[in-house]
Every structure is written in C-alpha cells, then in structure tokens.
Structure 1
Amino acid sequence: MKKYILSLLTCAIALSATAQEETSTSNAPVSKKGKAILPAAGDIAVGVDALPYINFAGNMFNGYGTTGAQNTLNVGSTTIYGKYYLSSDAAVRVELYLNNSKDQNTAYVQDDNQVDDNPDAQVEDLQIINRNDVGIGVGFQKYRGYDRLRGTYGAVLSYYRFRNVTEYTWGNQMNDVNSTPTSTNWYGAGTQPASRDLMVDNDLTQTFSLGLIGGVEYFFLPKVCIGGEAGIYLNYTMNSQADKTYETIEQGIYREKDLATSPEDNFFSLTTQVYDAARVAGRLYILFHF
C-alpha cells in the first residue's frame, strides 16, 4: 500500500507541473495554444489500466534500484477501455479484460526402466496449465465537474468467463509391470502414486453483472486524462461441473477413467469488483481522446 501511495504522489506532482502550462475559461478549459482540454460530442477515447505504469514510474524516483532488484513493467492482467462521447458530458463505454496464459512446468524423475543399469538415468514429467480469463462490459456514463477535474457516474453490464485446465504428460509409463511409476509430486499424490491425473478441468465459470460506478478524471494534457473508479456489482454466477481424467491399474489392466470432482452450481453475489478479484478497491486508468 505504501508503494502505491508513493507512486501516486510522484505522478501527481509530475501531472501538476504539466498542468501549469494550461489555462481555462469560465465555460471550458483550453491550453495556452487554444486547444480544448475536455472531450466533445463525437470524440472517441481508448485507454488501459494505469497502475502498472504508475508503479513503474514511481519506482524510477523512489530508489527502487538501490535494493538490487530490477525495475520492470509488469502489465499482467489488464483492461482495455473505449468510449464514444454522445455529448461533452455523456458517453457510452466498452471494456475488454484479458488474462490468458499458458504455463509449462517440467521436472526430472528417475527413469524406472533404466535405474538398475544406470541409477542416474532420468525422464521428464510435463505439466501444462491453461488459463482462459476474459471479460467484456458495456455501459453509459455521465460527467460533471470544474476545469480539468470531472466526476463521473453511470451503469455497466458485463460478462466474465474463466476456465482453468491442467494437463499432465508423464515420463515413466504406467502399466501392469510398473503400476506405481516414479512421478513428480505435482499435486500432493506422492512420488509413486497408484493413479495419476492426465487432465483436470476446474469447471467453467460464467458471471453476468450489473454495476453502478462512480469516479473522477483529471485531464493533465489536452484530451488526455488519468482516472479512477469504483463500483458495486450485482452478479449471477454459473459454475459448470468440474472433472478430471486419470490413469490407474485395475486387476492388472491399464485404464483411463473420468471422475466428476465437484457439481455445477449457480448463485447471486454483491461485490465491489468485476473480472479481477484483486481489484476490490477500484481501478485506475489512462485515456486518450481523439
């Protein structure tokens, strides 16, 4: 938290210095070159989450490098924003949240077929974790404020989809001769399990949400703003059945079997985040208007 606050203060000082180059009128602020600062009817805005960039900029000024760690830009999961202004104080919005990944983990284990002749012989186990995390939202916003600072409020409809599937490939084959092959202890089953997972599907989660949002935007350059918003969302979530495919030896015969691990369920919830559960305090973003 202290790191975030210091980063925000650093950026606020920089933005305030930039804003000194701009002037305003009683109706709409303009820069010294006469350029309009605020968006107008027909303008389009695009933007992204600002927090990764704020942290990166803040670390450049707060002595991050003295710890010996490298200051890197870690975008990770992100939301892309788009807006179309119906008037200077009203806009429709769309947002796209993405957090997809594919992680491959490998580990060496004893080669059971060669261990008698060569105790150092090894084979490789492979674990692949596929994460598919997507959200999309559409909404309407109103604005009001003074000079470069504007408050905003509105409503958003959103859809969120999450799926996590893990696949395993084992170096030592399971058969009637070797029914408990040496294996990597990926998930707590031990190093010589009597059964091994081949695929684990941790269900499909789908959430439909209706949210009320509010926030502020500050235009530190003509048609460029940094903003923050928070909201409260009524959600309806559907979880499909989770299952897995595993291999085992039964009465000397190799079998691949399917097993349901949790039933499907549906529920309502009221939350202060949408898409990413880590963002319970709201979102920060930067928008460019054209």
Structure 2
Amino acid sequence: MILPQSGEIALGIDAMPVLGYVGDFFNATAGNNTNFGFINGIYNANTIYVKYYLEDQVAVRGAVRICHQNWIDKEFVTANQEIPDPLVTVTDVNTFNSTNIGIGADYLMYRGKGRVQGYFGGGAFVNYNSWNDSYTYGNPFTTMYSSPAWYDFGLGAQVSGGERVLETYNNNSFGLTLRGVIGVEYFFAPKISIGGEMGLGFNAQRDGGFQTVERWTGTDIEVETTELPHDVFIGVDNFTSASLFLMFHF
C-alpha cells in the first residue's frame, strides 16, 4: 500500500534544512534553500509533527517546535584617553539568547487520486517566547570620562553619551493562533510523502519586558530598570506549520 490507512501513525520533519543542504551541495555555496514568499509564521523551523489517522481520509496532527538561539557580538571602540588614539581600543559585547516553544494541533481531511493527496482542516497553536539582550562596555563612566565612547549595536556604530542600555529582556511572551489550513502531499514512495501547506488564521500575541540602563549623574553611576509597554497584537494573517515537510507513515 502506498497511502496511509486508518489507525496508522506518521512522523514528520521540516524539509527546508534538507533542501538547503542539497542546494549547497550542488552549488558549492552556503545558505541556499527554496523560498516561498507566501509562507510565513513562527512554526516553520525545528518542528516535529506527529499525525494519527482516525480514518483513511481523516487525521489529527500535533506539532511541537523548540528553538533556542544564543549569539555573541563583539565590537572594538576607542579607549578612554586624554588624547584619543584610534589604535588603542577596548571591546564592547552584546550577548543575545532566546527560547521559543510552540505546541499545536490540527484536524485534517484528505481527498485525492493516487499518490497526490490534498487536504484541508483547522487547528490551534500556542507559542511561548523568552529572550534576553545584554551589553557590557569596555569604557566605564568616570568623573573624567562622563560621556565615554561605546558601541551602539542597534545603530551599528561607535557613539558617545551619558546613558546606555545594559539589558533588555522578556520572560513572558505568549501567542495564540486559530487557523484554517490547506495543503497537498505527494507519496513518492510507499508511506513516505513530501508536502507543503499554508494557512490563514486569527492570531493574538502579548509582549512586553524590562529594560535596565546606566547613566552618569554628574557624581556617580545610576542604574535603573523600567518596565516596557505591553504590546498586544490581534489580527488575521497567514500562518503555517511548515513550508515544506517530509512525513513517514507506519
């Protein structure tokens, strides 16, 4: 049998990293992959899918996305000196890390002929995100250097001033998506398929966080933490659980 049947289970992975690797292999370059402009969303990478067929043409699908990023950016700036020398530098460091977890489920109904199977359905996704952006500076605030040189990582340039950000973070960002989906799978081998889909849904997200800054008061260093505004987004947009995926049925 080529097509899955009632009672069978399928496991799937995002196919984009595989296609990107194949593109790199044949082109002898890095960063190549297929690009579908209409595909969007926060569930289209590092996602694992589990599907169970309630009937031959009806299935429920669960998806789990776990993503963690960590990177460090180091930049040289001119050191505090009475006579500035551009060859004498110190290092400013920006450290960023984030964790994104998405969990969702869809109810899917299939129809098609032969190896080509189209499907449609709907589902819901919940997303949690936390992130931290911290900065360390090589030039401290002092009485002599109340406006030292430092690197503005947002602008991408060396600046000077009496106030700068030490940390921006958010540990409590949630999103909820209710959506409809439409897609197609092609079974190029028995019980093995490649497919793609897109979805249109109602999305609600809540974000906020805190920011810590340091400033020179004229006599000392003052550190202050303030709460950032809570941003709420509610709207209709296109979301997808994967741009392209591979499914293995058994």
- Settle same-fold status: TM greater than 0.5: yes
SS at match of 1:52: helix
144, 163, 177: which is aligned to 2:111?
144
User: Residues 39-76 of structure 1: CA distance to partner in whole angstroms, max 9, x if unpaired?
Assistant: 12232211112233234435656xx24xxx347789x9
User: Residues 220-243 of structure 1: CA distance to partner in whole angstroms, max 9, x if unpaired?
Assistant: 111100111121111222223x43
* Residues 1:104 and 1:91: Cα distance change in structure 2 (over 3 Å): same
Equivalents in 1 of 2:16, 2:84: separation in Å? 56
Indicate if the aligned counterparts of 2:5 and 2:56 stay in contact, CA closer than 8 A: yes
User: Residues 5-29 of structure 1: CA distance to partner in whole angstroms, max 9, x if unpaired?
Assistant: xxxxxxxxxxxxxxxxxxxxxxxxx
User: Residues 239-288 of structure 1: CA distance to partner in whole angstroms, max 9, x if unpaired?
Assistant: 23x43101111131211012344x2133421111157xxxxxx7221101
Partner of 1:169 in structure 2? 136
Q: Which runs of 5+ in 1 are unaligned?
A: 1-35, 276-281
Partner of 1:236 in structure 2? 204
Matched, 1:264 2:230: yes
**Seq. identity, %:** 29
Q: From the two aligned structures, give the one with the greater helix fraction.
A: 1
* Residues 1:120 and 1:133: Cα distance change in structure 2 (over 3 Å): same
Indicate if the aligned counterparts of 1:60 and 1:71 stay in contact, CA closer than 8 A: no
* Residues 1:215 and 1:119: Cα distance change in structure 2 (over 3 Å): closer
* Residues 1:289 and 1:250: Cα distance change in structure 2 (over 3 Å): same
Matched, 1:43 2:8: yes
* Residues 1:83 and 1:130: Cα distance change in structure 2 (over 3 Å): same
Q: From the two aligned structures, give the one with the greater strand fraction.
A: 2
Equivalents in 2 of 1:117, 1:193: separation in Å? 16
Partner of 2:239 in structure 1? 273
RMSD: 2.8
Q: 1:1-290 maps to which residues of 2 (within 5 A)?
A: 36-58=1-23, 64-65=27-28, 69-70=29-30, 77-112=45-80, 120-188=87-155, 191-201=159-169, 204-240=172-208, 242-261=209-228, 263-274=229-240, 283-290=243-250
CA drift of 1:108 comes to 2.0
Equivalents in 1 of 2:162, 2:189: separation in Å? 64
SS at match of 1:77: coil
Equivalents in 2 of 1:58, 1:186: separation in Å? 33
Letter paired with 2:236: L
Equivalents in 2 of 1:150, 1:120: separation in Å? 65
User: Residues 154-196 of structure 1: CA distance to partner in whole angstroms, max 9, x if unpaired?
Assistant: 1111012234421001112223332222212323485222111
Equivalents in 1 of 2:153, 2:233: separation in Å? 31
Q: Which runs of 5+ in 2 are unaligned?
A: 35-43
Equivalents in 2 of 1:48, 1:100: separation in Å? 17
Stretch deviating more after TM superposition (78-87 or 227-236): 78-87
Per the normalisation by structure 1, the TM-score is 0.72
Equivalents in 2 of 1:139, 1:37: separation in Å? 23
Letter paired with 2:239: Q
SS at match of 1:184: strand
Equivalents in 2 of 1:116, 1:193: separation in Å? 18
Q: How many aligned residue pairs are there?
A: 240
* Residues 1:154 and 1:219: Cα distance change in structure 2 (over 3 Å): same
Indicate if the aligned counterparts of 1:176 and 1:254 stay in contact, CA closer than 8 A: no
Greater RCO between the two (CA within 8 Å, min separation 6)?
Answer: 2
